[in-house]
Amino acid sequence: MNTDVDGQDDQKGRPSLTLIIEGKKFEWFEQFITGKQLKELRGLPLDCKLFLDIVEPWKDDAILNDEVVDLARTGIEQFYIKQKLKYSVDGKNFETDKQYIKGSQIRRQGNIPDDYQIFLDNKQPWEDDLIEDNDIVDLARPGKEKFYSKKEVTEFIIIVNGREKQWCEKTISFKQVVELAFGNFQENPNTVYTVTYAKGPHQNPEGSMVKGDKVFVTNKMVFNVTATNKS
């Protein structure tokens, strides 16, 4: 027997157990309750996904319709419905139960060609995020995530030691930056090159490079290169 008012069960004389379902408090006079009973008690559809709120760092439990929950444990048990997360790809709407999505999944769902890049639309003044196939996006952030695609740009203007240079690759190596700065790269133990960069893409917005390094390029990326002779 159950009720949604405080008090004792007159028939069995047992104290009530308090539980909360989707923000509403109920009293239950049995030690156990099933997922189906929880949904019926709150008037929820039987096909919705119900979860038991668990204290961090443990993950919340999904409660199936025929699963039994012990309400006599310490504290008040709280249950909630996990809402579907909505997002769009090139204007087409999607929804999912999963909190995270990979760039490769977005590409498949949106039928985006390999030579197109995927971006996450951010509010101004923030730049949109480039989403690589292996990147993982959190869909549970406030608001609806919007993804869009555009043909990949492989022609850039980069600035090396204050001079504009044309570059036609997605990445650039330490040696290539030095060659753009000085016309050649000297394999001389007495010559030390220092390379720093700024205004790069999200994979490498700023930093320094050493021999063997390679970084992603974006338009108007800035490189500063110096050569020091140790002799």
- Tell me whether the omega of the peptide bond preceding residue 189 falls within 30 degrees of 0, making it cis: no
pLDDT greater than 60 at residue 10: no
Looking at residue 1, what is its pLDDT? 45
Q: Distance (Å, rounded) from C-alpha 172 to C-alpha 167?
A: 9
Nearest 5°: phi and psi at 63? -105, 110
**Hey, how many other C-beta atoms are within 10 angstroms of the C-beta on 77?**
21
Domain ranges of the chain: 2-81, 85-151, 156-229
Quick: pLDDT tens for 143-182. 899 999 998 877 899 999 999 999 998 899 999 999 999 9
Q: How far apart are the first and last CA of the chain?
A: 91
Q: Distance (Å, rounded) from C-alpha 16 to C-alpha 164?
A: 76
Distance of CA 101 to the CA centre of its chain: 7
- In the three-class reduction of DSSP (H, G, I as helix; E, B as strand; rest coil), residue 162 is classed as coil
Domain 85-151 and domain 156-229, same fold? Reply is yes
CATH of domain 156-229: 3.10.20
Would you place residue 8 in the very low, low, confident or very high pLDDT band (cuts 50, 70, 90)?
very low
Q: Is the pTM of this model over 0.75?
A: no
Helix (H) or strand (E) holding 21: strand 17-21
**Quick one: average pLDDT of 82-108?**
90
pLDDT greater than 50 at residue 113: yes
C-alpha torsion angle, residues 156, 116, 196, 164 (rounded to 10): 10
* 85-151: CATH topology: Ubiquitin-like (UB roll) (3.10.20)
**Quick one: average pLDDT of 94-123?**
91
Looking at residue 126, what is its pLDDT? 84
Would you place residue 12 in the very low, low, confident or very high pLDDT band (cuts 50, 70, 90)?
low
Contacts of 5 (CB under 8 A, 6+ apart): 27
pLDDT greater than 50 at residue 6: no
